[in-house]
Amino acid sequence: MSLSFGLSPWLLAICLSLAAGLTYLSYRRTTPPVSRGWRWLLGSLRFTALALLFFLLFEPVMRQFSASEQPPVLAMLIDNSESLQITTGARTDTARSAPQDAIQTALRQIDATALDGDRRFFAFDRGLRRLENTTVPDSLRFDGARTDIAAALEQIRNELQEVNLGGVVLISDGQYNTGQNPLYVAERFATPIHTLVVGDTTRRRDVQIRRVTTNDIAYVDTELPIQIGLWAESAGGEPVTVQLFRDGERIDQERVQLPSGTAEVPVDLSYTPESTGLHRLTARVTELDGEVTYRNNERALTVRVLESKRRVLLLGAAPSPTFGAVRRLLEQDTDTEVVPFVPQRGGGFYQGELPDALQEFDVLVLAGFPSAVVPAAAVERVAEAAAREMPLLFILDAQTDLRALQQSFGEVLPVQTERLRSSFVEAGLVPTEASTRHPIFEIPELTSDLWRQLPPLQYNESRWVATPDATVLATTRVRGVELNDPMLVIRNRAGHRTAALLGAGSWRWANLPEDLQAVAPAWPGLLNNTIEWVTTREDDRPVRVEPVRETFAGNERVSFTGQVYNESMNPVDDASVEVGVRAPDGTQYPYAMNAVGNGRYVVDIGTLPEGSYEYTAEATRDGASLGTDQGQFAVGALTLEFRNTRANAALMRQIAQRSGGSFLTIEQADALPVQLARSESFATKTITNEREVKLWHTTGFLIAIIVLLAAEWVLRKRRGMV
């Protein structure tokens, strides 16, 4: 036990001396005089009260120490993932007897030798769970669809931080497919990790589809290339057939001669969708005799099929460099269909008459259009389509007819011309503060300072004014002076999005010299991002329900999120939201979503068999429907645990070495108690506990001071003292 003060003890001694002096002066002579004994009694009471008061004012702290012994705790961390069914040599994909027998034998050998301390058992795959000592073998199912060794080690450290963790025994095949590399955790682990590797480390015969590469988005009647990475190990050079299926129907195949050793063989297949929606495809390779497992011979993928490519109606002022540069950039996007029209002198267009249904296009790009040679009837047709909320991007050209532009497109453009002029001045583009937060300027290759390196454009000297509901993303810089004149302006009016670039000669940005290649991504990125922005439709649906992802892996829980709004687009918290899931066999499953506040709803429907699913959702309140929603999602088989068919002994050895533990095979488990006995960390520790008491917070001292002063006052009154 020790005592400390907030201030110097020497100062406390001075204060006590002062208290003694004051007490002496108070009772050296009294009125009326009392005997010496009474003076000593009364003085003692006062001095004791003052001494206690000064003592507490110095904030005394009393520390008490106690020691206790804690025996070591051994954490037994056992891999419960599916991969052990393969690496231990189980001949059937669902068998768990082989890994269970191996681990049970190892635990029995470790238990045969008494160890000082306590053993605690845990099973892990994607997460960690505690096992009862008496039910360890029966609790292991080896059905975990993912393995995260690093997370298991981190959770063990956090869960057992209050005990004397003397060591960790990691029983696994060393195959992990989720989370960070466990070596990073082992290097920082304060306790030795002893590893027992389970499974066969030799190469075994196996053919698997390891990789499927394709686009997430496809289009109706457009061929979609699919590249498959076929992995062969000890296949002996035999031939196999790689096939592509949709809903059980084979849509493509290719015969492949496997290499005699170990290698990955690329296989190119294709798929031409005929309808929109979420299409679930399955790539499959035929089986070879003697494969270690067939569960990795196929792999599922999903592709969202859209009606068609984005259609762009590109209208020019004349055959100009600006029109040509814009056309080339748009045609580089394989997901875009460009329909160009260039006017010719004497009326009409070089490509013929404008399409009858302009509204069938997704976006209207005016590259200088309209010009003086464009017939008035064609201008009015295009203006009428734009007025019907057709997304629009206007790019100024030197040949643009500004008067016709103002008269026909003034209501849809985000800028107005208050004073028309035909002259131009060179001006650079200066991004505004609003551009830093806008997706149009999200071009990864460019930093904010690089925009100043772009060549200047020809800026028309008319007075351009942005409409009140428009946003100016870029202004001008003329002869080194930054002005507030708008260069790039956008507007979103009731869901109708338009944009205008008021600089002619943008073709310069597409033909940069060698020394300006750092800013080469600027114009392609700016053009594509602007078209992407103007064509994005705002979601004004009152009920929005969707799965958290379009494709769920096998054994992964399927969950939905939802939002509900009223007619004023205010969140509705008290709605009843029902989700109906339709399985591939036509069975309907109803689920009720739970409100989580601010108009948001969630539901977890658990795991589902693999296949393509459809869902519908309806929100009601007081019996009245607020709206509906629908969609699709897919559940695919998860084959991560079957991609590596042999134990990773090298990783297990490195985990042990970097943490200061020992590496053993499962057959050497009986040697583990000897290794633990040699470990300095696996020993009983004396734990010193410290208890701190702040005495100035103790009520007993306050009561004592009050009692002492009260006693002095009572005795003085009884003796008639003043």
pLDDT tens string 185-235: 999 999 999 999 988 777 778 898 888 888 888 888 888 999 999 988 888
Once rounded to an integer, what is the mean pLDDT over residues 100-124? 77
pLDDT score for 161: 87
pLDDT score for 361: 92
Residue 57 in this model has a pLDDT that exceeds 90: no
pLDDT score for 640: 64
What are 1-8's contacts with CB under 8 Å, separation 24+?
Answer: 1/62, 1/63, 1/64, 1/65, 2/62, 2/63, 3/60, 3/61, 3/62, 3/63, 4/60, 4/61, 4/63, 5/58, 5/59, 5/60, 5/61, 6/58, 6/59, 6/60, 6/61, 7/58, 7/59
Say whether domain 310-535 belongs to CATH 3.40.50.880: yes
Say whether domain 206-306 belongs to CATH 3.10.129.10: no
| Residue 286 three-state SS | coil
- Spatial distance between the Cα atoms of 612 and 633, rounded to a whole number of angstroms: 6
Residues 6+ away with beta carbon under 8 Å from 707: none
Q: Which residues pair with 563 in a beta bridge?
A: 544, 600
pLDDT score for 137: 66
Once rounded to an integer, what is the mean pLDDT over residues 497-522? 92
Q: Which CATH number fits domain 72-202+647-683: 3.30.1330.10, 3.40.50.880, 3.40.50.410, 3.40.50.2000?
A: 3.40.50.410
Crossing angle, helix 699-718 and helix 36-57, to 10 degrees?
A: 160
Write out the H or E segment, with its range, that includes residue 546.
strand 543-547
| Residue 355 three-state SS | coil
Cα torsion 716, 719, 720, 722 to 10°: value is -30
Percent of the chain residues topping a pLDDT of 70: 95
Write out the H or E segment, with its range, that includes residue 504.
strand 503-504
**Which position has the higher pLDDT, 308 or 503?**
503
What are the structure tokens assigned to 382, written together? 């295009």
pLDDT tens digits for 522-548?
A: 999 999 999 999 998 877 789 999 999
**Which position has the higher pLDDT, 718 or 395?**
395
pLDDT tens digits for 582-635?
A: 998 888 999 999 999 989 999 999 888 888 899 999 999 988 999 999 998 888
Once rounded to an integer, what is the mean pLDDT over residues 262-287? 90
Once rounded to an integer, what is the mean pLDDT over residues 666-673? 85
Residue 258 in this model has a pLDDT that exceeds 70: yes
DSSP for 57-88? HT--EEEEEEEEEE--EEEEEEE-BTHHHHHT
- Spatial distance between the Cα atoms of 189 and 41, rounded to a whole number of angstroms: 66
Residue 103 in this model has a pLDDT that exceeds 70: yes
Lowest-pLDDT choice from 302-316, 425-439, 655-669, 683-697: 683-697
What are the structure tokens assigned to 381, written together? 């047709």
pLDDT score for 91: 45
- Spatial distance between the Cα atoms of 287 and 308, rounded to a whole number of angstroms: 37
pLDDT band with cut points at 50, 70 and 90 for residue 429: very high
Lowest-pLDDT choice from 92-106, 119-133, 168-182, 375-389: 92-106
Domain ranges in the chain? 2-66+693-718, 72-202+647-683, 206-306, 310-535, 543-635
**Which position has the higher pLDDT, 48 or 201?**
48
Which one-letter amino acid corresponds to residue 308? S
pLDDT band with cut points at 50, 70 and 90 for residue 94: very low
Closest-CA residue to 152 (of 79, 250, 211, 48)? 79
What is the residue-averaged pLDDT of the chain? 87
Q: Name the pTM for this structure.
A: 0.57
**Cβ burial, residue 448 (10 Å; 0-12/13-18/19+):** exposed
Q: Are 469 and 453 within 8 A, CB to CB?
A: no
Name the CATH superfamily for 543-635.
Answer: Macroglobulin (MG2) domain (2.60.40.1930)
Answer whether 72-202+647-683 and 310-535 agree in fold.
yes
- Spatial distance between the Cα atoms of 577 and 628, rounded to a whole number of angstroms: 9
pLDDT score for 639: 65
pLDDT score for 638: 60
Listed ranges 270-279, 363-372, 529-538; the one with the highest mean pLDDT: 363-372
Residue 676 in this model has a pLDDT that exceeds 50: yes
Q: Is the peptide bond before 99 cis (omega within 30 degrees of 0)?
A: no
pLDDT score for 603: 95
Write out the H or E segment, with its range, that includes residue 170.
strand 165-172
- Spatial distance between the Cα atoms of 669 and 673, rounded to a whole number of angstroms: 8
pLDDT tens digits for 539-577?
A: 778 999 999 988 887 667 899 999 999 887 789 999 999
Q: Are 246 and 305 within 8 A, CB to CB?
A: no
Residue 686 in this model has a pLDDT that exceeds 80: no
What are the structure tokens assigned to 518, written together? 């750092």
Residue 408 in this model has a pLDDT that exceeds 90: yes
- Spatial distance between the Cα atoms of 492 and 486, rounded to a whole number of angstroms: 17
